[in-house]
């Protein structure tokens, strides 16, 4: 398992991307899947950084990544405002952009990139568990 702790500062997102890239390289994951994982995890983490700690409150975001050869599991933990993205209604992407409510596209992206998205709140900690099945995604070359 690989672990990264970041402050709730969007300026640290390059560290997150490097962390994901390094994990994927070590696990021999191809560039296309690496890019998708980066997008999904970045969306989830930036949402925590932007909305989980209001009024400039300082907080941390923990990211754990592991693979068992069949699944990649990414766990994002924070102690910000409780928020369950799995309860958020789907965004109607058929509507023109000017008719859609603001927000929700990040959650939409995460749901569509990852195979499973689970949320728990344990001991005042938000725990978001993202899973992606590797089946054909692994670079076997």
Is residue 94 predicted with pLDDT exceeding 60?
A: no
11 pLDDT more than 50: yes
**Which pLDDT score is estimated for 108?**
80
Greater confidence (138 vs 26) lies with: 26
In angstroms, what CA-CA distances link 56 with 15, 21, 72, 101? 21, 29, 32, 25
Reported as a pLDDT band with limits 50, 70 and 90, residue 105 is low
Query: Are 63 and 19 contacting, i.e. CB atoms less than 8 angstroms apart?
Result: yes
Lowest mean pLDDT among 21-30, 50-59, 67-76: 50-59
The residue-averaged pLDDT of 92-107 equals 51
């Amino acid at each position: 398992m690989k672990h990264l702790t970041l402050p709730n500062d969007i300026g640290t997102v390059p560290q997150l991307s490097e962390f994901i890239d390094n994990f994927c390289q070590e696990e021999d994951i191809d560039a296309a899947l690496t890019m998708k994982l980066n997008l999904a995890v970045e969306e989830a983490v930036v949402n925590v950084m932007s909305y989980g700690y209001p009024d400039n409150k300082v907080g941390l975001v923990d990211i754990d990544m592991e693979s068992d050869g069949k699944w990649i599991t990414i766990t994002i933990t924070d102690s910000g405002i409780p928020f369950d993205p799995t309860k958020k209604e789907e965004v109607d992407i058929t509507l023109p952009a000017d008719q859609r409510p603001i927000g929700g596209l990040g959650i939409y992206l995460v749901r569509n990139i990852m195979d499973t998205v689970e949320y728990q709140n344990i001991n005042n900690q938000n725990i978001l568990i993202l899973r992606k099945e590797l089946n054909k995604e692994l670079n076997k070359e």
